[in-house]
A and B are shown apart, each in its own frame.
Chain A
């Protein structure tokens, strides 16, 4: 009875993992003192523990800025970002892993050493380190390339190296900044499956920034739709996918309905972002 009650509470009020409260970000214009660009906000958003949350929005709407705020790479002008109940204020919190759009593999290190890079500084003994690297290599399909160097790999494989490097530190929150942006469509779909797989296995919360509506509809539990700059959340779309999903859900009817809804929300904003006074939706 009590167990059932607990489950119910857990589903009704999921734990908040990351929270953004009235967050604004303004940039000073380099070379133009006094001129300020309002890039983002105000944004209010709670990410639930263990969910897969995607953010879509027109280009230049501050999606990546949002991610940098959560990663602690930049500081909010106003408002507060909190991770696991503790405010992040330009401080890089432990337990967060980031994968960027650009290839961030270290060209001077082998695949194995790239993955080991973040672990070296954690106080982990050698055996455990090698075990984790082995698991990550295996999961990312890189076992045969442990001794290779990034220059010898394809773009998709290099991105997998970066994912593996983040993965081995066992982050509780994984931030993905358009990680498949530079990859071809087929590779993107397969990488999406791998990320879903990883998300299931690790139980981490995932925040995915993407410009691809398909990608968001395919991967996420919830999708935050952002307006043109200054980026605000105009809606949050629940996808309702089961946890053990993969890219084959793209064939389902609901998938088309979700992307259609996202595009309805975004079309006007995208036009605005392109400088057109877009009105009709």
Chain B
């Protein structure tokens, strides 16, 4: 049972935090990385400078791009599916008390199953191609998005819905005009989580049964103990995930700074 918050507001940090904080964090992380590289030794953990230099070379090598493209394609489709199915499920269950009460525990249960145990089944269903990777990425991302959306829709203050009903809004207008904007800040949290989990799922899918993609490259590099490639790929992925997450956060703050 979810109880709507008394004043309905969610505490939010001010929009302008400045870039200095972010910059400071990046510098700190690089410093820690460099320090670890000195302690452990460059053979096991290349320094930031070496990694960035190698990443540059990797990005200019023609054999890298097909892999990146493959991953981008799989991730893009998986993310789209996660978001669409997750939002739809969340809204449906959030608006239907009975179905929500019934299926929410099921979703949580499925969410806590290590998805990798399902991978053999997915492979049998979808074969070794891109479809299996998309499916694996989707099952990672879709549930958190659905759960966050469900909670957000349920927590929408009843008085806002009553206001909509008094104005005679149709179900469609109710969703687009009240439920979606009211639930958006929480949904955004689900989207950020779903984004990173979909990425993890897609890469995992590539690591275990694929001949293409960044996940495959990474697995290959681990097999060959090619530390430079491992570091460069990890660096790229962290950079991408960090930027994307930051961008989503920025959008959220930008649109909902007054909420």
Interface residues of A (CB under 8 A from B): 71-73, 92, 94, 96-98, 100, 102-104, 106-110, 117-118, 121, 149-152, 162, 169
Given the interface pairs A92-B168, A117-B177, A121-B167, the reply to whether A108 lies near B258 with Cβ below 8 Å is: yes
Q: For residue A134, give the distance in angstroms from its CB to the closest CB of chain B.
A: 20
Residue of B nearest to A98 (CB): B166
Instruction: Kindly state whether residue B84 has any CB partner on chain A within 8 Å.
Output: no
Q: For residue B187, give the distance in angstroms from its CB to the closest CB of chain A.
A: 12
Set A92, A98, A100, A106: member contacting B182, Cβ < 8 A: A106
Instruction: Kindly state whether residue B2 has any CB partner on chain A within 8 Å.
Output: no
Given contacts A94-B168, A98-B163, A108-B259, 6 further A-B contacts (CB under 8 A): A98-B166, A100-B159, A102-B159, A103-B7, A103-B159, A110-B258
B162/A104 in contact, CB under 8 A: yes
Summarize B's interface: helix, strand, loop or mixed: helix
Can you show 16 pairs from A to B with CB atoms below 8 A apart? A92-B166, A100-B163, A102-B157, A102-B159, A106-B178, A107-B8, A107-B182, A108-B255, A108-B258, A121-B167, A121-B168, A121-B169, A151-B9, A151-B258, A151-B259, A162-B163
Residue of B nearest to A171 (CB): B166
Instruction: Kindly state whether residue B254 has any CB partner on chain A within 8 Å.
Output: no
Summarize A's interface: helix, strand, loop or mixed: loop
Instruction: Note all chain B residues with C-beta closer than 8 A to A150.
Output: 258
Instruction: Kindly state whether residue B152 has any CB partner on chain A within 8 Å.
Output: no
CA of A138 to CA of B181, assembled, Å: 27
Residue with the highest number of chain A CB atoms closer than 10 Å, among B9, B159, B256: B159
A152/B258 in contact, CB under 8 A: yes
The 7 tightest CB contacts between A and B, nearest first, are A149-B258, A102-B159, A108-B181, A104-B159, A98-B166, A107-B259, A104-B163
A106/B258 in contact, CB under 8 A: no
A71/B9 in contact, CB under 8 A: no
Instruction: Kindly state whether residue B165 has any CB partner on chain A within 8 Å.
Output: yes
Residue of B nearest to A97 (CB): B166
Residue of B nearest to A152 (CB): B258
How many residues of B are counted as interface, with CB atoms below 8 angstroms from the partner's CB atoms?
A: 23
Q: Indicate with 1 or 0, residue by residue over B7-36, a CB within 8 angstroms of chain A CB atoms.
A: 111000000000000000000000000000
Q: Indicate with 1 or 0, residue by residue over B153-176, a CB within 8 angstroms of chain A CB atoms.
A: 000010110110111110001000
CA of A72 to CA of B162, assembled, Å: 11
Instruction: Kindly state whether residue B147 has any CB partner on chain A within 8 Å.
Output: no
CA of A107 to CA of B160, assembled, Å: 10
B165/A92 in contact, CB under 8 A: yes
CA of A107 to CA of B167, assembled, Å: 17
Instruction: Note all chain A residues with C-beta closer than 8 A to B7.
Output: 103
Instruction: Note all chain A residues with C-beta closer than 8 A to B256.
Output: 108
CA of A73 to CA of B166, assembled, Å: 7
B167/A118 in contact, CB under 8 A: yes
CA of A264 to CA of B163, assembled, Å: 36
CA of A98 to CA of B167, assembled, Å: 9
Instruction: Kindly state whether residue B78 has any CB partner on chain A within 8 Å.
Output: no
A104/B160 in contact, CB under 8 A: yes
Instruction: Note all chain A residues with C-beta closer than 8 A to B181.
Output: 106, 108-109
Q: For residue B219, give the distance in angstroms from its CB to the closest CB of chain A.
A: 45
Instruction: Note all chain A residues with C-beta closer than 8 A to B159.
Output: 100, 102-104
Q: For residue A165, give the distance in angstroms from its CB to the closest CB of chain B.
A: 8
Interface hits, B166-222 → A, CB 8 Å: 166-169, 173, 177-178, 181-182, 184
CA of A71 to CA of B165, assembled, Å: 10
Residue of B nearest to A155 (CB): B7
A108/B184 in contact, CB under 8 A: yes
Interface hits, B231-259 → A, CB 8 Å: 255-256, 258-259
CA of A121 to CA of B167, assembled, Å: 9
Given the interface pairs A106-B181, A107-B9, A152-B258, the reply to whether A100 lies near B162 with Cβ below 8 Å is: yes
Instruction: Note all chain A residues with C-beta closer than 8 A to B169.
Output: 121
Residue of A nearest to B255 (CB): A108
Q: For residue B175, give the distance in angstroms from its CB to the closest CB of chain A.
A: 14
B173/A96 in contact, CB under 8 A: no
Q: Indicate with 1 or 0, residue by residue over B62-93, a CB within 8 angstroms of chain A CB atoms.
A: 00000000000000000000000000000000
Instruction: Note all chain B residues with C-beta closer than 8 A to A97.
Output: 166
CA of A109 to CA of B169, assembled, Å: 17
